[in-house]
Amino acid sequence: MFILLLAVTFVVSVIACIVLARVFRKPLDRILNRLVGEDIYLAWTRYLLFALYVVGISGGVRVWDLERYITPAKAGEAILELNSDRWILEIYRTIIGTLQSVAWMLLVFFVVALLAFVMVKGREMKHPAQSDKP
């Protein structure tokens, strides 16, 4: 039963990551295209989506919390029973953990991207494009 719970939480976390990756793909593309240029922004987008999956799945599938279903918390205590209420709770925790982990990762990315965007804009304002000269 524990292996099935582990597999289900993994699948739920992957599905949540797929949805999040589809939602944030275009904004990530546009931001990275603006900041790093057309030649390498696709590689950076792929890396960020990979990081989204890794962070999301590791935040959603909390193996250290699931261990309480196979080992007792203290010597002499009983192992927690994996009933339907606990299944629902674990699936809910998986979804919330995935969303929370991805939200933190994207928050850090967007803060760094905002700072980089301000720097790029400042540089562009300081040195206007040379194309308007004849």
Closest CA to 17 of 112, 93, 100, 89: 100
In which region does residue 128 sit, left (phi positive, over 0), alpha (psi from -120 to 50) or beta (all else)? Answer: beta
* CB 21 within 8 Å of CB 29: no
Residue carrying structure tokens 């927690």? 80
Closest CA to 29 of 13, 47, 16: 47
**Residue 27, domain extent:** 2-132
- Segment 105-114 shows an average pLDDT of 94
What does pLDDT average to over the chain?
Answer: 88
User: Which residue did the predictor score with more confidence, 112 or 36?
Assistant: 112
Residue 16, pLDDT score = 97
Q: Over 16-33, what HEC string results? A: HHHHHHHHHHHHHHHHHH
Looking at the predicted structure, is the pLDDT value of residue 75 above 70?
Answer: yes
Phi, psi of 77 (to 5 degrees): -85, 155
**Letter for the amino acid at 60?**
G
Split into its structural domains, the chain has a count of 1
